[in-house]
Amino acid sequence: MPFAALAVAGVLAGAWIARTTLTPAAVPAPALKSGTWLPEPREIHAPAFVDSRGEAFTAAGFAGHASLLFLGFTHCPDVCPTTLALLARVRRATQAAVTVYLVSVDPERDTPEVLQRYLASFDPEFIGLAAAPLDMKAFARTLGAAVAKVDLPGGNYAMDHSATLYLLDDGGRLRAVFTPPLDTKTLAADLDAAVAASRG
């Protein structure tokens, strides 16, 4: 699937998630410029991950703090390094305490050691997560994320995916979806507003 189509799919996924929630929450919705606010928090079903420190990580690891998830992979030539560099700047610019996770869409190559070394070049506080390939695909579907494996000449492969970001609240529930184009100032302001609103 071409990247442009994946980007459109990310925008549509955000709109679909917002439409399929049940009832408006009591908390006023923040006015987001680069994202879609979900009127009702959405439960996600996370698989058994291994993080970039080589430790087991479950859905409980998302509790107690706001989390920003980006689905990508370390062999990505453009979207991932660009997005992670942006997120490093955003983390310095935002007032909100947000933990950034790179959820690997290429768990066969992205070992904990590879993830840790890769993420350290952007921000040592970033955390990588990987799960079994089938579990990863299921998790991507729960987020409405579009991911596709693309075979390359010579037996190599790449992963097509969007640069969509997923904000979880301190209960580990999906609260907002941010879609490209993204910039540091706007996303930092949106995260400040969204994290504050998600706390009620």
Where along the chain do its domains lie?
3-198
What is the CATH code for 3-198?
Answer: 3.40.30.10
Strand partners, 160: 148
Query: Alpha carbon of 26 to those of 39, 68, 108, 195: distances in Å?
Result: 9, 23, 43, 15
Q: Does the reported pTM lie above 0.75? A: yes
Per-residue confidence (pLDDT) for residue 28, from 0 to 100: 79
The overall average pLDDT reported for the chain is 89
Question: Would you call 176 helix, strand, or coil by DSSP?
Answer: strand
Q: Which residue has the higher pLDDT, 43 or 2?
A: 43
- Tokens representing 80 are 């991932």
Percent of the chain with pLDDT over 70: 86
pLDDT digits (tens, 9 = 90+) for 45-89: 899 999 999 999 999 999 999 999 999 999 999 999 999 999 999
**Rounded distance between C-alpha atoms, residue 115 and residue 121, angstroms:** 10
Residue tagged 């998600």 (tokens): 198
Q: What is the CA radius of gyration of the chain?
A: 16
Q: Facing residues of 165 across strands?
A: 70, 178
| Cα–Cα dist 85/89, whole Å | 7
Dig out the tokens for 41 from the structure.
């928090």
